[in-house]
Chains A and B, each alone.
Chain A
Amino acid sequence: MKLKLEGITKVFASRRQKGKEVTAVNNFTYEFPDGQLVGLLGPSGCGKSTTLYMICGLQKPTKGKIFFGDDDVTELTPENRGVGLVFQNYALYPHMSVKQNIMFPLENLKGADKLNKDEMLKRAYDAAKLVQIDDLMDRKPSELSGGQQQRVAIARALVKMPRVLLLDEPLSNLDARLRLQTREEIKRIQRETGITTVFVTHDQDEAMSISDQIVVMKRALVQQIGKPQDVYDNPANLFVAKFLGVPPINVFKGEVKNNKLYIDGKEIMPFKGVEKSYEDSVVTLKEKINYFIENARDVEKEKYAAAAQSGDTTGLDEFEDSIFLELLDQQKKLNAAIEAKVYNVYVGIRPEGFILDDNGNFPLELDKVEVMGRDISLICKSPAAQSPTVRAIISSDFKISEDTKEVKFNLKPHKVFVFNGETEERIIG
């Protein structure tokens, strides 16, 4: 079953200030492919759970439409959508046995779908077998481990054969070892049933490892959608690059001059096309600002439009209008950068993108060496780095002596990403 979101938007009344609104999900359009596992990924408060709740019908989108296959389900109540939802804390009924918990959705079926007791039992046992808990059917949830409770919750969601299976932070309540095991399990169950599955997580590792597709979100906006490896290899902006990957990407402040990329004053590699990219950014940023104004509430449209026109932001609230203020700020800085022809960029280098080379053109001060067995982590320092340490992972075949003070690297070009210093969008060189 395909699952299609068409421009869904959710606006909540602000809790902080009366009469204000907060956009939780902003114009989310995507067609979830049939029979695949899609991970909604993002930091807390980015709107991923709200999206999930809108898909299952517990929350209604303010704007936009949701389709299951060709059926428009936007106006349908949860029970009429045919979704199975696994809650973050499982929400197993504590007073019912595992068997009763799994059978509960079946007992609700009415009319032509109504099942007799034997059929219900059979379906319940089939679901239980799928998640391998058929020997625990008479226990109460309180007598189960976290992982077992999770399986019961999945069985309960699957037993009525939903068109779409939704998982809300499915692994967050499990310990590290169980988490690894369970995520394999979720993947297996999803493959075996072939149900289109959407799950929400803030753990990029989790999302990368089991998803067929990932959707990266930040502050109500979709940042990038794609196969996990593609998103990792080709991040659309600095946020996505930083959010994906363990250990995280190393970010440096750099500069592009005369078609060459400099970090900390040292020439790293040739880099073309930054001027054109900056000029393109002006256009896309303008579009973003216009989109924001268009979608603002009527009472605020004028205020925003005036601020965008004059650049005077005195009437705007630092907290409530932070996104808009940021956009205006970016616009100002972007124009200034183009005028001055100074292209300050962010350079992201994946830890595995370093090649140790005595003749390398990228020297870093070595702080310490972490031996991981399979490979070595060189913890370095650089004044240009955004974080206090820079991590480079190299093969353990290299031997680094204890008293080495400086290491020199060459970089793998496809592991180096350059981002616009103002809009943080990726610049393809």
Chain B
Amino acid sequence: MVEGKNQWKAWIYLLPCLILLLIFTVYPIINTVRMAFLNGYNGMMAVGGEKFSFGVKNFVDVITYKEFLTCLKNTMLLCVITVPVSTLLALLIAVCLNSIKPLNRLLQTIYFIPYVTNSIAIGMVFAAMFNIVGSFFGTPNEIVTTAGIINNIIEAFGGTKVNWINAGSTYAANMTVMVIYIVWNALPFKILILLGGLQSVNKQYYDAAKIDGTSRSRTFWRITVPLLSPMIAYVIITGFIGGFKEYSSIIGIFGETLGPASAPYSLNTMVGYIYRSLSLGNEGKASAAAIILFGIILVVTLIQLYVQKKRVHY
């Protein structure tokens, strides 16, 4: 505890950080709430001296708008599918990595690469891999040169090409690509956390289990998973939060159309909607959508914390 006399010193040390936080975090949050509750708020008109009435019209507009509901559905779907899949995969890979002695470091590094790679760049690579015609447009007269590597592999095994992301592709195909991309991109962070957790587990638990003749699968489910449960909970919560904020991956794969050329914006997400509203000058709607997104994340996280209290051990 700082003595009263010296408190001003502490404040001076904190000042640079506090100023930055006030300007770039606290003020924007307050302003977002303000804009959300001013009916039909528009930045340009506000500068022009226009006054807006107080109300919940922005929220009503957002919720009843069809495109927003598409965004909500996409976001939810991505979260619900990718978080469990990526967590399970990450757990599996982390356990495998932890039990390998040679090349352990090298493999850890390799698995971590996606985390430090630009997600737009990865998205473009994915787009190329899942391509069907070697072009983004797929217009009838375009010269078809080569298909993406995924379709090449499918054909090599005697399958037929799938239109994953090009014009005319189905929603299910689009989603599949998105899920694969997001899971792959989410793995490194999760592996890192879970591997750290595994390495801090006391080896004697495994020795004890070995002496008691515990089978490998039982050791995994009855000892490893419960001991890792705090890390697993953390990874799931941050996974959901990240999932709700998904946007750049869609840009990466589909470009600015946020969907195949035949169905633009069909894969838009909540953040994408907020971003588009902003660029169209609908700051009020964007703010309302941001607050709705915040509310959803808050509720989901609270539910998870509640479950965690019951399920996560010690």
Binding site for B on A (CB under 8 A): 56-58, 77-80, 83-85, 87, 89, 91, 93-96, 104-105, 108-110, 140, 142, 156, 160
- Chain A interface, >50% SS class: loop
Contact A108 B218 (CB under 8 A): yes
Contact B207 A58 (CB under 8 A): yes
Interface: B212 (CB within 8 A): yes
Q: Interface digits, B187-226 against A, CB 8 Å rule (1 contact, 0 not)?
A: 0000000000000001011011011111100100011001
Q: Interface digits, B210-254 against A, CB 8 Å rule (1 contact, 0 not)?
A: 111111001000110011010000000000000000000000000
Contact B314 A94 (CB under 8 A): yes
Interface: B51 (CB within 8 A): no
Contact B314 A104 (CB under 8 A): no
Contact A58 B213 (CB under 8 A): no
- CA of A96 to CA of B208, assembled, Å: 14
**Residues on A with beta carbons closer than 8 Å to the beta carbon of B202:** 89, 91
- CA of A85 to CA of B206, assembled, Å: 12
Contact of B211 among A56, A93, A140 (CB under 8 A): A56
Q: Which A-chain residue is minimally distant from B212 (CB atoms)? A: A105
**Residues on B with beta carbons closer than 8 Å to the beta carbon of A93:** 205, 208, 222-223, 226-227
Closest A-B pairs by Cβ, 10 of them? A79-B213, A95-B313, A105-B212, A91-B204, A95-B226, A91-B208, A78-B211, A94-B314, A108-B213, A108-B214
Contact A84 B227 (CB under 8 A): no
Chain B min CB distance to A167 (Å):
13
Contact of B208 among A57, A80, A85, A95 (CB under 8 A): A85
Contact A95 B314 (CB under 8 A): yes
- CA of A57 to CA of B213, assembled, Å: 12
**Residues on B with beta carbons closer than 8 Å to the beta carbon of A85:** 207-208, 211
User: Do A58 and B211 contact each other (CB < 8 Å), given the known contacts A87-B204, A95-B226, A108-B218?
Assistant: yes
**Residues on B with beta carbons closer than 8 Å to the beta carbon of A142:** 314
- Excluding A78-B211, A89-B204, A93-B205, 14 further A-B contacts by CB distance (< 8 Å) are A56-B211, A57-B211, A77-B210, A79-B214, A83-B211, A84-B211, A93-B226, A95-B313, A104-B214, A104-B222, A108-B212, A108-B214, A140-B314, A156-B208
Q: Which A-chain residue is minimally distant from B207 (CB atoms)? A: A58
**Residues on B with beta carbons closer than 8 Å to the beta carbon of A57:** 211
**Residues on B with beta carbons closer than 8 Å to the beta carbon of A104:** 212, 214, 222
- CA of A71 to CA of B214, assembled, Å: 23
**Residues on B with beta carbons closer than 8 Å to the beta carbon of A140:** 314
- CA of A93 to CA of B314, assembled, Å: 10
Contact A95 B205 (CB under 8 A): no
**Residues on A with beta carbons closer than 8 Å to the beta carbon of B314:** 94-95, 140, 142
- CA of A93 to CA of B208, assembled, Å: 9
**Residues on B with beta carbons closer than 8 Å to the beta carbon of A84:** 211
**Residues on A with beta carbons closer than 8 Å to the beta carbon of B227:** 93-95
**Residues on A with beta carbons closer than 8 Å to the beta carbon of B226:** 93, 95-96
- CA of A89 to CA of B212, assembled, Å: 17
A-B contact list, 14 entries, CB within 8 Å: A56-B211, A78-B210, A79-B211, A85-B208, A87-B207, A87-B208, A89-B202, A91-B205, A93-B227, A95-B226, A104-B212, A104-B222, A108-B218, A156-B208
- CA of A80 to CA of B213, assembled, Å: 8
Chain A min CB distance to B201 (Å):
10
- CA of A91 to CA of B223, assembled, Å: 12
In the complex, the number of residue pairs spanning A and B with C-beta atoms less than 8 Å apart equals 61
Contact of B215 among A94, A105, A108 (CB under 8 A): A108
| Max chain B C-beta neighbours (<10 A), residue from A57, A79, A110, A142 | A79
- CA of A83 to CA of B212, assembled, Å: 8
- CA of A56 to CA of B208, assembled, Å: 11
Those of B45-65 within 8 Å (CB) of chain A: none
Contact of A160 among B208, B212, B218 (CB under 8 A): B212
Contact of A91 among B207, B214, B218 (CB under 8 A): B207
Those of B113-156 within 8 Å (CB) of chain A: none
Contact B229 A95 (CB under 8 A): yes
Contact of B212 among A58, A79, A96 (CB under 8 A): A79
- CA of A258 to CA of B227, assembled, Å: 71
**Residues on B with beta carbons closer than 8 Å to the beta carbon of A91:** 202, 204-205, 207-208
Chain A min CB distance to B200 (Å):
13
- CA of A94 to CA of B205, assembled, Å: 10
Those of B291-314 within 8 Å (CB) of chain A: 313-314
Chain A min CB distance to B227 (Å):
7
- CA of A156 to CA of B314, assembled, Å: 20
| Max chain A C-beta neighbours (<10 A), residue from B202, B210, B215, B223 | B210
**Residues on B with beta carbons closer than 8 Å to the beta carbon of A83:** 211
- CA of A69 to CA of B215, assembled, Å: 27
**Residues on A with beta carbons closer than 8 Å to the beta carbon of B204:** 87, 89, 91
**Residues on B with beta carbons closer than 8 Å to the beta carbon of A105:** 212-213
Chain B min CB distance to A100 (Å):
9
**Residues on A with beta carbons closer than 8 Å to the beta carbon of B218:** 108
Q: Which B-chain residue is minimally distant from A77 (CB atoms)? A: B210
- CA of A411 to CA of B207, assembled, Å: 51
**Residues on A with beta carbons closer than 8 Å to the beta carbon of B213:** 78-80, 105, 108-110
Q: Which B-chain residue is minimally distant from A153 (CB atoms)? A: B208
Q: Which A-chain residue is minimally distant from B312 (CB atoms)? A: A95
- CA of A108 to CA of B222, assembled, Å: 11
Contact B210 A79 (CB under 8 A): yes
Chain A min CB distance to B221 (Å):
12
Chain B min CB distance to A97 (Å):
11
Q: Which B-chain residue is minimally distant from A53 (CB atoms)? A: B207
Q: Which A-chain residue is minimally distant from B314 (CB atoms)? A: A94
**Residues on B with beta carbons closer than 8 Å to the beta carbon of A96:** 226
Chain B min CB distance to A172 (Å):
14
**Residues on B with beta carbons closer than 8 Å to the beta carbon of A79:** 210-214
Contact A94 B210 (CB under 8 A): no
Q: Which A-chain residue is minimally distant from B205 (CB atoms)? A: A91
Q: Which B-chain residue is minimally distant from A84 (CB atoms)? A: B211
Chain B min CB distance to A94 (Å):
5
Chain A min CB distance to B225 (Å):
9
- CA of A108 to CA of B221, assembled, Å: 13
- CA of A56 to CA of B212, assembled, Å: 11
- CA of A108 to CA of B208, assembled, Å: 12
**Residues on B with beta carbons closer than 8 Å to the beta carbon of A94:** 227, 313-314
